[in-house]
Chain A
């Protein structure tokens, strides 16, 4: 089982690499380099703040874009192109296929984010001429960004098991935007009455909450993130991701392919 699972995971990673997904790193570096002179001009004394905001937000956004663009095709492309025929004729379980695809895309995003983090720290070093202990907190922000990726990949994967790429992209992007305002959605729900309140609260919790996972402005202001927050956010993101991926498995297991 692990041999098959790792084979599918690594092949999914390989596909992303050969699809030139990692070229986005070039864009990221260009962005950092191009914005450097601008940053030092417009915000005296706030360079580090702006750099952290820009860097971390880019890592997050680039990753989400990749998660959506690659994620929507994870399963639908294989069904469309019938490459699944020679996979399913082998002793591969359908759930292994889904899990392998999930882990493969997540691996791609983690590697991408890791490389960006290195670039980001280099930029930070150049700017601030030395790192402080507080800069370790930035890693917490990046860890949370990866938790966000975990959830987004699960979501795009689920859509990919039953929807066409265009609709999957629309749904996934919408959920990303909604998730960004996750706390506000919950507030909206709390302000309504009666039956609407119940429905709105259910909807608010069904939607992913990326707002709690966004500690970028906190770490930009060199505030620390509590260990409890890290723990519970991890639990939230992990269980949510597994739940959504399990749903994807359920859908895929029952599906008659073309």
Chain B
């Protein structure tokens, strides 16, 4: 009559076991369907406006949900280097239709879009359009002009457009002074390693997305290595001019007073001096974005 403790414990254990079994079944389904399943609707929805109407007033919550889906969609492909980002733009478009003030969708989403395949979707034109949409809805958020300028400079190589973006951004009340500086650099220098490094550093410092941060870090060390190797090659050139032959190793350069010690790359490994006077990194696989002397960007 008084309840048997043992029976209750067994009962509870049974409930937990059954539940665990159900989770196993669910995970199987998730593995098969992948995150794709919920996204198929994206293809079939006429527009973000429709979704907005369907969300019955909870559109900003729906925006968050769509943003999360966009990040998941992008992230899984980015990590696997698999490409296939067709749904990214529609997802971002719907997200920003649902909540035009969701800045992170413009800022990070456009970077996801504009980066070269397979790091990103390789759609810089769409990316620029997205940012412009964001600027239109959030005219006082001057940092979007930075993102726009970044995309024009890095991925579209349209230095005029980049200059205009930075210029307009600098005119927004509250914009930091370096926006004006950047506008001037764009006008003056065009493609330039230092400018690129500065842009990537800004991205690295200001982004809230880990994938973008990692990517920026990769770009930065590649740029650093590029700059190092260019400088080192200038020194070997100087050596050749002085001594009529290429240096055999770093110590000769040191003895000649052209170098203070063995030069190390940003990862701490010594640069390799080639017999023809060119310089290479020890381990090119650690530098995704090198374009130096046929070493090319590592994959």
Binding site for B on A (CB under 8 A): 181, 183-184, 186-188, 190-191, 205, 209, 211-212, 217-218, 220-221, 226, 228-229, 232-240, 242-243, 246-247, 249-250, 253-254
Contacts of A190 in B (CB 8 A): 72
Q: Does the CB pair A186–B11 fall under 8 Å? A: no
Q: Does the CB pair B25–A253 fall under 8 Å? A: no
The verdict on A250 contacting B11 (CB below 8 Å), with A183-B30, A190-B72, A239-B18 known, is yes
The verdict on A217 contacting B41 (CB below 8 Å), with A181-B65, A242-B18 known, is yes
Contacts of B18 in A (CB 8 A): 239-240, 242-243, 246
**Is B57 in contact with chain A by the CB < 8 A criterion?**
no
Among candidates B12, B25, B35, B68, residue contacting A188 with C-beta atoms closer than 8 Å: B68
The verdict on A191 contacting B33 (CB below 8 Å), with A233-B25, A246-B14 known, is no
Chain B interface helix/strand/loop/mixed: helix
Contacts of B69 in A (CB 8 A): 184, 187
- CA A186 to CA B30, docked complex, whole Å: 10
Contacts of B26 in A (CB 8 A): 205, 209, 212, 232, 236
Q: Does the CB pair B3–A233 fall under 8 Å? A: no
Q: Does the CB pair B8–A250 fall under 8 Å? A: yes
**Is B174 in contact with chain A by the CB < 8 A criterion?**
no
CB contacts under 8 Å to A, within B1-18, are 3, 8, 11-12, 14-16, 18
**Is B19 in contact with chain A by the CB < 8 A criterion?**
yes
Q: Does the CB pair A228–B25 fall under 8 Å? A: no
Q: Does the CB pair A232–B37 fall under 8 Å? A: no
Q: Does the CB pair B3–A253 fall under 8 Å? A: yes
Q: Does the CB pair B15–A247 fall under 8 Å? A: yes
Per CB-CB distance, the 8 closest pairs between chain A and chain B, nearest first, are A235-B25, A239-B22, A236-B25, A243-B18, A240-B22, A232-B28, A243-B19, A239-B21
Please give the distance in Å from B51's CB to the nearest CB on chain A: 13
Q: Does the CB pair B40–A226 fall under 8 Å? A: no
Contacts of B232 in A (CB 8 A): none
Given A184-B69, A232-B32, A243-B16, 19 further pairs, Cβ under 8 A: A184-B38, A187-B69, A187-B72, A217-B40, A217-B41, A221-B44, A228-B32, A229-B33, A234-B25, A235-B21, A235-B24, A235-B25, A235-B28, A236-B25, A238-B22, A240-B18, A242-B18, A243-B19, A250-B12
Contacts of A235 in B (CB 8 A): 21-22, 24-25, 28
Q: From B71, which residue of chain A is reached at the shortest CB distance?
A: A191
Contacts of B238 in A (CB 8 A): none
Q: Does the CB pair A183–B37 fall under 8 Å? A: yes
The verdict on A184 contacting B65 (CB below 8 Å), with A226-B32, A246-B14, A250-B8 known, is yes
Q: Does the CB pair A236–B68 fall under 8 Å? A: no
18 pairs of residues in contact across A and B, judged by CB atoms under 8 Å: A184-B65, A187-B35, A187-B68, A205-B23, A211-B38, A212-B37, A217-B40, A221-B44, A226-B32, A229-B32, A229-B33, A232-B25, A234-B25, A235-B25, A238-B22, A243-B15, A246-B18, A250-B8
CB contacts under 8 Å to A, within B34-73, are 35, 37-38, 40-41, 44, 65, 68-69, 71-72
CB contacts under 8 Å to A, within B125-146, are none
Contacts of B19 in A (CB 8 A): 239-240, 243
Please give the distance in Å from A200's CB to the nearest CB on chain B: 12
Q: Does the CB pair A246–B15 fall under 8 Å? A: yes
The verdict on A236 contacting B29 (CB below 8 Å), with A188-B68, A191-B71 known, is yes
CB contacts under 8 Å to A, within B158-203, are none
Contacts of A209 in B (CB 8 A): 26
Q: From B14, which residue of chain A is reached at the shortest CB distance?
A: A246
- CA A217 to CA B50, docked complex, whole Å: 15
Please give the distance in Å from A122's CB to the nearest CB on chain B: 25
CB contacts under 8 Å to A, within B68-123, are 68-69, 71-72
Q: Does the CB pair A243–B22 fall under 8 Å? A: yes
Q: From A247, which residue of chain B is reached at the shortest CB distance?
A: B15
- CA A147 to CA B37, docked complex, whole Å: 18
- CA A250 to CA B13, docked complex, whole Å: 11
- CA A77 to CA B162, docked complex, whole Å: 70
- CA A221 to CA B40, docked complex, whole Å: 10
Please give the distance in Å from B68's CB to the nearest CB on chain A: 5
Q: Does the CB pair A183–B25 fall under 8 Å? A: no
Q: Does the CB pair A229–B29 fall under 8 Å? A: yes
Among candidates B11, B28, B44, B65, residue contacting A217 with C-beta atoms closer than 8 Å: B44
